[in-house]
Amino acid sequence: MTTWLIIGGMTLILFFNRYLFLEPRLPIRLNRGVREFLGFAVPGMLTAICGPIIFIKDHTLNLSPGNPYLLAGVCAVGLMLWSRNVLLSVALSVALFYLFRWWL
Amino acid sequence: MPTTLPRVAFIRGAIACLPLTLACAPWGLLAGSTAIDAQLTPMQTQGLSLFVFAGAAQLVAIGMIKGGASALSILVTTLLLTSQHLLYAMHLRPLVSPMQAKWRISLGFVLTDEFFALVSPFDQKTFNRWYALGVGLCMYVGWNLFTCIGVLVGRSIPGLDQLGLEFSIAATFIALITPIVRNGPTVVCVVISLLSVVLFSYWQWESAIVLAGLAGMTAGYLCKRLGAYLA
């Protein structure tokens, strides 16, 4: 029963977070400054999601150059600059990730 | 794209989201198998994916339930951990808020990191609601399918969480970020965001991701303003 309460609560919280600013009756107007600020949402947030995946393993920081996540992540940037193709870059960098992990 | 047929736009959206959906497979399998492992019933496990539909929050909640955390602490963690959705919605507000309630609620319900990554590049002229719905539903159906498979077979794959499958998500986001880093302020935004998320996660802050994202966005914005002021 408690588990269903947790699930219900989480459902409400997630919907609140997702829907709040989509509601037109919410009296906020986005001025130019806010729009410029939100223009940085994509690079800022997506980078923040990648960071822990690449640098944190079991609550410890892995900054060594032999970290396969870091090496393959750098390769993903290079592949994307070179190919301009999202799918190709992802596929090749994942393959490189497993190569590095097996090799190092 | 606004004039495209709804059906065509919907399918285009779903196809655009397919690689990201597949990249989420490992998490979906984990969300299914770890919940069973934490003594949730199959109904509760699928319920999490059907109603909550948030990968990171589900995995954290499952871990906390297994660890015997209180309902309140799980809900507070969920609120902090998923607060980036507030920013996503604020960014999408000019596109979504003028629509009818059924569209706002539907698109709001399927608003995820991946949805935001694929839909936010559009503006009022190029945005297509059916495309956005295709993106969102593709992820929703995929996520629930993977959860279901996770419930059924996940536990028979030993050490699923040790396989490093989460790299595919990082690789996808890197591929999406790289082409938009074209000027000084965006470089500053990405660098500050990366440095702060590593630091905040190292300190084990529950809202590390959203705070680091905000730090990066603030830094980028200040740089842009400073550039405009000096020019």
What is the domain partition of chain B in residue ranges? Answer: 6-179, 181-231
Alpha-carbon distance B3 to nearest alpha carbon in chain A (angstroms): 23
pLDDT at B160 over 90: no
Residue B190: CB partners within 8 Å, gap ≥ 6?
A43, A44, A47, B177, B181, B216
The answer to which of A54-58, B155-159, B168-172 has the lowest mean pLDDT is B155-159
Q: Do A23 and B82 touch (CB under 8 A)?
A: no
Q: List the beta strands (DSSP E) in chain B.
A: none
CA distances from residue B193 to A26, A36, B94, B189, B214 in whole angstroms, order as listed: 29, 17, 25, 6, 8
Interface-testing mutation among A49, A55, A85, A88, with chain B (most B C-beta atoms within 10 A): A49
Angle at B173 between CA B54 and CA B157, to 5 degrees: 60
Supply the pLDDT for residue A78: 97
Selected for mutation to probe chain A from B20, B197, B199, B206 (highest A CB count within 10 Å) is: B197
* Paired tokens of A8: 């219900």
Quick check: B2 pLDDT over 60? no
Give the 3-state secondary structure of residue B226.
helix
CB pairs under 8 A between A and B: 257
Q: Is B105 on the interface with A (CB under 8 A)?
A: yes
> Model confidence over A44-94: pLDDT tens digits?
888 988 898 899 887 788 888 889 999 999 999 999 999 998 878 988 999
| B173–A contact, CB cutoff 8 A | yes
Helix (H) / strand (E) containing B110: none
- Cα B86 to its chain centre, rounded Å, is 12
Mean pLDDT of B157-165: 69
Q: What part of B 65-104 touches A (C-beta under 8 Å)? A: 65, 71, 74-75, 78-79, 82-94, 96-98, 104
∠ CA A25-A31-A37, rounded to 5°:
110
More confident residue, B52 or A31: B52
Q: Which of A17, A40, A68 sits opposite B85 (nearest CB)?
A: A17
Q: What's the pLDDT at B161?
A: 65
Amino acid B3: pLDDT: 61
Asked if the Cβ–Cβ distance from A43 to B180 is below 8 Å, we say yes
User: pLDDT class for B14, splitting at 50, 70, 90?
Assistant: very high
In Å, how far is B34's CA from the nearest CA of chain A?
Answer: 15
Band of residue B1 on the pLDDT scale cut at 50, 70, 90: low
User: Does B205 have pLDDT greater than 90?
Assistant: no
What totals of helices (H) and strands (E) does chain B contain, helices first? 12, 0
Per the prediction, chain B carries an average pLDDT of 89
Question: Own/partner pairs for A59-64, CB < 8 Å, 24+ apart?
Answer: A59/B204, A61/B198, A61/B202
pLDDT in tens, A19-38: 999 999 988 877 888 878 87
The two structure tokens encoding residue A43: 């690079």
More confident residue, A33 or A17: A17
- pLDDT of B128 reads 95
- DSSP string across A2-36: HHHHHHHHHHHHHHHHHHGGG-TTS-----HHHHH
Query: Quick check: B139 and B17 in contact, CB under 8 A?
Result: yes
Place of tokens 């736009």: B9
Residue A42, burial from CB neighbour count under 10 angstroms (0-12, 13-18, 19+): buried
Q: Give the strand pairing for A56-57 and A60-61.
A: antiparallel
The separation between the first and the last C-alpha atoms of chain A, rounded to the nearest angstrom, is 47
Distance of CA B60 to the CA centre of its chain: 14
Give the pLDDT of residue B129.
Answer: 95
pLDDT tens sequence across B68-113: 778 888 888 788 778 889 889 999 999 999 999 999 999 999 999 9
The dihedral built from the CA positions of residue B201, B205, B209 and B213, taken in this order, carries a sign that is negative
The count of other CB atoms within 10 Å of the CB of residue B43 is: 13
pLDDT tens column, B66-75: 777 788 888 8
B13 three-class SS: helix
Q: Quick check: B218 and A98 CB within 8 A?
A: no
Contact A43 B93 (CB under 8 A): no
* Token reading at A12: 């409400």
Contact B209, B84 (CB under 8 A): yes
Report the pLDDT value the prediction gives residue B146, as an integer from 0 to 100: 95
* Banded model confidence at residue B147, pLDDT cuts 50, 70, 90: very high
